């Protein structure tokens, strides 16, 4: 069956450091992978999409890598800030339909001053 | 502009009762999605509406679940004869077109006693 695995342990880092979150998947042949942010009591908010032919994508302090051989994506937040504290979700399209996303359980990030 | 809204925000019901959850998408968005987030699980795709096309119901977990989208706007997710395992947060999202960035509502937390 299709699985998306994210580190279930919360990640605690100091302000200013780089946070790195991991997403591993099995039984997907994804054309793309997405990362979302979710705050308590809120719906997920889209951050970045990376396609299978892209090794790396950047947006401001965010960087995503995508290795289809390892079946893994890494999500980096550089110069982290307390406002970055949230749960970060990795999402894959079940059938490359363009809409049927399944999400990992997410990794909670806490950035302390 | 207004985002995706969902009602009610919380719903407590007794096992065996029917419930209706409502989603108001962003005005002008033609695509609408329902997801379920069970405790300790990632978001799970349930159903997708695009314009006047037949919905993709492939994610609905049983025939107790159904959804409608009237007039290409508001959507209702109905769960008949609720079971305790239906307890979850039900999230709705909309996008301008199918396969575009999805914008999520805050969700409805359903508790089945």
pLDDT digits (tens, 9 = 90+) for A56-86: 999 999 999 999 999 999 999 999 999 999 9
d(C-alpha A44, C-alpha B97), whole Å: 18
Q: A49: which strand partners? A: A34
Interface of B with A (CB under 8 A): 4, 31, 33, 35, 40-45, 48, 50, 56, 58-59, 91, 93, 95, 98-99, 101-107
Model pLDDT, residue A90 = 96
Q: Model confidence over B46-98: pLDDT tens digits? A: 999 998 889 999 999 999 999 999 887 999 999 999 999 999 999 999 999 88
Local structure of B86: helix, strand or coil: helix
Indicate the residue of B44, B99, B104 with minimum beta-carbon distance to A98: B99
Kindly report whether the peptide bond that precedes residue B2 is cis, defined as omega within 30 degrees of 0.
no
A18-31: average pLDDT: 94
Closest CA relative to residue A6, chosen from A26, A28, A27, A21: A21
Question: Domains in chain B, please, with CATH?
Answer: 5-99 (2.60.40.10)
Question: Domains in chain A, please, with CATH?
Answer: 3-38+48-89+97-112 (2.60.40.10)
d(C-alpha B100, C-alpha A33), whole Å: 13
pLDDT exceeds cutoff 60 at B27: yes
Compute the half-sphere exposure of residue A15: CA atoms within 13 Å on the CB side of its CA: 5
Does A105 touch chain B if contact means CB atoms closer than 8 Å? Answer: yes
Closest CA relative to residue A92, chosen from A27, A44, A19, A37: A27
A84-106: average pLDDT: 90
Model pLDDT, residue B1 = 56
């Amino acid at each position: 069956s299709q699985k998306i695995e994210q580190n279930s342990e919360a990640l605690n880092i100091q302000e200013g450091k780089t946070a790195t979150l991991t997403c591993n998947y099995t039984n997907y042949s994804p054309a793309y992978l997405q990362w979302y942010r979710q705050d308590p009591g809120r719906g997920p908010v889209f951050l970045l999409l990376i396609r299978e032919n892209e090794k790396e994508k950047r947006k401001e302090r965010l960087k995503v890598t995508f290795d289809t051989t390892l079946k893994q994506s890494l999500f980096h937040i550089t110069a982290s800030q307390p406002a970055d504290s949230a749960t970060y979700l990795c999402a894959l399209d079940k059938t490359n339909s363009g809409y049927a996303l399944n999400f990992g359980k997410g990794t909670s990030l806490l950035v302390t001053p | 502009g207004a985002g995706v809204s969902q009602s009610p925000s919380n719903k407590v019901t007794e096992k065996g009762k029917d419930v209706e959850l409502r989603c108001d998408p962003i005005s002008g968005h033609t695509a609408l999605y329902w997801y379920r987030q069970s405790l300790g699980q990632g978001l799970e795709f349930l159903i997708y509406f695009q314009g006047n096309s037949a919905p993709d119901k492939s994610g609905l977990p049983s025939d107790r679940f159904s959804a409608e989208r009237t007039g290409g706007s508001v959507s209702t997710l109905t769960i008949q004869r609720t079971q305790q395992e239906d307890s979850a947060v039900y999230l709705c999202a909309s996008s301008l077109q199918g396969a575009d960035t999805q914008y999520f509502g805050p969700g409805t937390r359903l508790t089945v006693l």
